[in-house]
Amino acid sequence: MDKTINQKAWFLVLPVFLVVAFSAVLPLMTVVNYSMQDTFGNNQFFWNGVGWFKELLDPSTDLGGRFLASLGRNLFFSAVILAIEVPLGIIVALSMPREGWSVAACLVILALPLLIPWNVVGTIWQIFGRPDIGLLGYVLNHLGFNYNYVSNEVDAWVTVIVMDVWHWTSLVALLCYAGLKSIPDAYYQAAQIDGASRWAVFKAIQLPKMNRVLLIAVLLRFMDSFMIYTEPFVVTGGGPGNSTTFVSIELVKIALGQFDLGKAAALSLVYNLIILIVCWVFYTVMTNAGTERKAVAQGEPAAEPKAAAAPRPAGVLKPKEGVA
């Protein structure tokens, strides 16, 4: 808003530009180049035009079938992950202790899973879920469930999802906690004076204030769950059968396993594009929702209670609409 125009600022950005260009643009060009060609080994390349892309989007071919199947699994996985982790993260953030040493203790424990290398996360759950040596698998089997993530598809899916919830819910919780911490006490005092219910406080104060961090949380969780590779690879290896083979696993199989560079490159480009588009849609929808609410809140005078969820100055909080 009050930024000054200064083209010399480019000099400050130049180092970043060079580093990222080196490690992003050059490889990306290689990918684009490969995606148009076919290789039969010996570094011999043949022009293939858009052939791979056509095959990729046609489910009747081998490549297209594998890609679309793994894409479907991946989309379903991301949807489940978001549906569980976002509400759970908000609940955990709301349950954080208020002050004292327990705050620091909770923060440290919450952040712990985030700093474990991803293959170790896989290893932890691989061990934990095994019926013979893992606590979870052992207990479940002794309770009469026939739980075995190596041979049963549903069990494999449940294991991968629970593992991801274990691994990443903390991220959502920490983000929401940061959002909650930024709410001034005056808001709560005003709500108390108005006799607002717990739910009204959540809907009219806490949720709108968490809007920004929730956007970050949803974006990060979508990106990372859509790019997931290491954890399911270590736990299930993409199996049983192909039931937990996500797009990244399929891609690495084609690129580094079969060394089918053309196919892998075409898949990479489409894959990357999907992530970009979905992120852009999320971003636009969520920021628009935010600005609309703000516009409503600013446009309407304080006496005009219209949108219940609109963030408004503390003094004019009308809790009763929030309840409805």
Partner 1 sequence: MHSIPGRRLIMALFLIFLLLPIYWLVNMSFKTNAEIVSTMTLWPHTPTLQHYRRIFTDESWYSGYINSLEYVVINTVISIAVALPAAYAFSRYRFLGDKHLFFWLLSNRMAPAAVYALPFFNLYSAIGLFDTPWAVALAHCIFNVPLAVWILEGFVSGVPREIDETAFLDGYSFPRFFIKILVPLIASGIGVAAFFCFMFSWVELLLARTLTSVQAKPIAAIMTRTVSAAGMDWGLLAAAGVLTIIPGALVIWFVRNYIARGFALGRV
32-91 binders of partner 1 (CB under 8 A): 91
To partner 1, the closest distance from the beta carbon of 314 in angstroms equals 13
**Rounded Cα gap, residues 223 and 216, in angstroms:** 11
Nearer to partner 1 by C-beta: 23 or 146? 23
To partner 1, the closest distance from the beta carbon of 97 in angstroms equals 7
- List, in order, residues 6 or more apart from 102 with CB less than 8 Å away: none
**Which of 81, 200, 251, 310 touches partner 1 by CB under 8 A?**
251
**Which of 50, 79, 114, 289 touches partner 1 by CB under 8 A?**
114
Nearer to partner 1 by C-beta: 234 or 310? 234
Binding to partner 1 (CB under 8 A) within 6-35 occurs at 6-10, 12-13, 15-17, 19-20, 22-24, 26-28, 30-31
Nearer to partner 1 by C-beta: 50 or 120? 120
CB atoms under 10 Å from CB of 286, counted, come to 16
Question: Which x/- pattern over 91-110 shows residues binding partner 1 (rule: CB under 8 A)?
Answer: xx-xxxxx-----x-xxxxx
CB atoms under 10 Å from CB of 206, counted, come to 18
**Rounded Cα gap, residues 100 and 309, in angstroms:** 32
Q: Which amino acid is at 121?
A: V
To partner 1, the closest distance from the beta carbon of 296 in angstroms equals 22
Could you tell me how many residues of this chain bind partner 1 (CB under 8 A)? Answer: 100
Nearer to partner 1 by C-beta: 181 or 306? 181
To partner 1, the closest distance from the beta carbon of 91 in angstroms equals 6
**Which of 50, 79, 83, 135 touches partner 1 by CB under 8 A?**
135
Nearer to partner 1 by C-beta: 223 or 300? 223
Is the peptide bond preceding residue 208 cis, with omega within 30 degrees of 0?
no
Residue 207 binds to partner 1 (criterion: CB under 8 A): no
Residue 252 binds to partner 1 (criterion: CB under 8 A): yes
Residue 238 binds to partner 1 (criterion: CB under 8 A): no
Closest CA to 171 of 100, 104, 82: 82
Q: Are 172 and 90 in contact (CB under 8 A)?
A: yes
**Rounded Cα gap, residues 239 and 156, in angstroms:** 8
Which H or E run includes 308? none
Nearer to partner 1 by C-beta: 10 or 40? 10
**DSSP, residue by residue, 53-97:** HHHHT-TTSHHHHHHHHHHHHHHHHHHHHHHHHHHHHHHHHHTS-
To partner 1, the closest distance from the beta carbon of 156 in angstroms equals 17
| Rounded alpha-carbon distances, angstroms, from residue 291 to 212, 230, 284, 288 | 11, 38, 10, 5
To partner 1, the closest distance from the beta carbon of 125 in angstroms equals 6
Token output for 299:
């446009």
- List, in order, residues 6 or more apart from 273 with CB less than 8 Å away: none
**Which of 112, 186, 193, 316 touches partner 1 by CB under 8 A?**
112
Give the sign of the dihedral formed by CA 93, CA 99, CA 103, CA 105: negative
To partner 1, the closest distance from the beta carbon of 114 in angstroms equals 6
**Choices 111-119, 144-152, 287-295, 303-311 (CB under 8 A): range interacting with partner 1:** 111-119
Binding to partner 1 (CB under 8 A) within 286-315 occurs at none
To partner 1, the closest distance from the beta carbon of 281 in angstroms equals 13
To partner 1, the closest distance from the beta carbon of 36 in angstroms equals 14
* Interior angle at CA 134, CA 128 and CA 135, nearest 5: 90
